[in-house]
Structure 1
Amino acid sequence: MKDTFLLITTVPQSLNFYKGQVQVLKSKYHIEVASSPGQRLDTFGELEDVPIHEVPMKREISIFSDVVSLYRLFKLIKKTKPKVVHASTPKAGFLGMLSAFLNKTPVRIYFVLGLRYEGTRGFKRRFLMLIESLSCKLATHVFAVSNGTKKTLEENKITSKNIQIIWNGSINGIDTKQFNVDATSNPAIDKNLIPDGSFIYGYVGRLVGDKGTNELIDAFTQLHQSHPEIRLLLIGDFEDIQDPVSDRTRSLIKNHPAILYQGYQSNVKPYLKLMNVFVFPSYREGFGMVVMEAAAMEKPVICSNITGCNEIIIDGHSGVLIPPKSTDMLLLAMKSLRTQPELLEKLSTNARASIIQRYEQQTLWKHSLEAYAKITG
Structure 2
Amino acid sequence: MKIVIGASYGPSLLNFRRDLIREMVGRGHRVTCISVEPKEEMEEALAALGAAYETVGGSRTGTGILENLAMFLRYIKLLWLVKPDLCFFYMAKPIVFGGSAAVILGVKRIYSFITGLETAFYSKSGKDFVLRCLLCLCYKFILHFSKACFFMNRDDIKRLGKWKVVREEKAVLVNGSGVNMEHFMRLPLPEEPCVCMTARLVQGKGVREYFEAALLVKKKYPEVPFLLVGGFDEHKEAIREEELFALLEEGAVTYCGHAEDVRPYLKECSIFVLPSYHEGNGRSIVEAMAAGRAIITTDAPGCRDTVVEGYNGFLVPPGDVGALAGKLELLVRNKELRTSMGDCSYLLCKEKFEVSKINNTLLLTMGL
Asked if Structure 1 and Structure 2 have the same fold, meaning a TM-score greater than 0.5 normalized by the shorter chain, the answer is: yes
The one-character-per-residue Cα deviations of 1:18-56 (angstroms, maximum 9, x if unpaired) are 111111122152110000115653354133221100112
Q: Does the Cα contact within 8 Å between 2:58 and 2:71 map onto a contact in 1?
A: yes
Q: How much has 1:367 moved relative to structure 2? A: 2.4
The one-character-per-residue Cα deviations of 1:65-85 (angstroms, maximum 9, x if unpaired) are 101100111110111111112
Q: Does 1:82 align with 2:80?
A: no
The one-character-per-residue Cα deviations of 1:63-122 (angstroms, maximum 9, x if unpaired) are 111011001111101111111121111122111111111112111211100111333123
The one-character-per-residue Cα deviations of 1:182-201 (angstroms, maximum 9, x if unpaired) are 4x9x9xxxxxxxxx986311
* Alpha-carbon separation, structure 2, partners of 1:47 and 1:264: 24
Unaligned runs of 5+ in 2: none
- Counterpart of 1:22 in structure 2 is 21
Judged with a 3 Å threshold, the aligned counterparts in structure 2 of structure 1 residues 247 and 56 are, in CA distance, closer, same or farther, namely closer
* Alpha-carbon separation, structure 2, partners of 1:309 and 1:43: 34
Residue aligned with 2:84, SS: coil
Q: How does 1:299-314 map to 2 (within 5 A)?
A: 299-314=293-308
The one-character-per-residue Cα deviations of 1:306-333 (angstroms, maximum 9, x if unpaired) are 1222112111101110111222221112
Q: Does the Cα contact within 8 Å between 1:292 and 1:355 map onto a contact in 2?
A: yes
- Counterpart of 1:192 in structure 2 is none
- Counterpart of 2:182 in structure 1 is 177
* Alpha-carbon separation, structure 2, partners of 1:37 and 1:246: 23
Residue aligned with 2:16, SS: helix
Q: How does 1:1-377 map to 2 (within 5 A)?
A: 3-15=1-13, 16-26=15-25, 27-38=27-38, 41-42=42-43, 44-58=45-59, 59-116=61-118, 117-121=120-124, 122-139=126-143, 140=146, 141-160=148-167, 162-165=169-172, 168-171=174-177, 173-182=178-187, 199-239=193-233, 241-245=235-239, 249-252=243-246, 254-373=248-367
Judged with a 3 Å threshold, the aligned counterparts in structure 2 of structure 1 residues 231 and 325 are, in CA distance, closer, same or farther, namely same
Report the more deviating stretch, 317-326 or 153-162: 153-162
Judged with a 3 Å threshold, the aligned counterparts in structure 2 of structure 1 residues 54 and 128 are, in CA distance, closer, same or farther, namely same
Judged with a 3 Å threshold, the aligned counterparts in structure 2 of structure 1 residues 328 and 257 are, in CA distance, closer, same or farther, namely closer
The normalised TM-score by structure 1 is 0.88
- Counterpart of 1:189 in structure 2 is none
CA-atom RMSD in angstroms: 2.3
* Alpha-carbon separation, structure 2, partners of 1:142 and 1:111: 6
* Alpha-carbon separation, structure 2, partners of 1:33 and 1:177: 24
The normalised TM-score by structure 2 is 0.90
Judged with a 3 Å threshold, the aligned counterparts in structure 2 of structure 1 residues 333 and 42 are, in CA distance, closer, same or farther, namely farther
Judged with a 3 Å threshold, the aligned counterparts in structure 2 of structure 1 residues 163 and 149 are, in CA distance, closer, same or farther, namely farther
* Alpha-carbon separation, structure 2, partners of 1:28 and 1:151: 36
- Counterpart of 1:190 in structure 2 is none
Q: How much has 1:154 moved relative to structure 2? A: 1.3
Report the more deviating stretch, 137-146 or 224-233: 137-146
Judged with a 3 Å threshold, the aligned counterparts in structure 2 of structure 1 residues 157 and 329 are, in CA distance, closer, same or farther, namely farther
Unaligned runs of 5+ in 1: 187-195
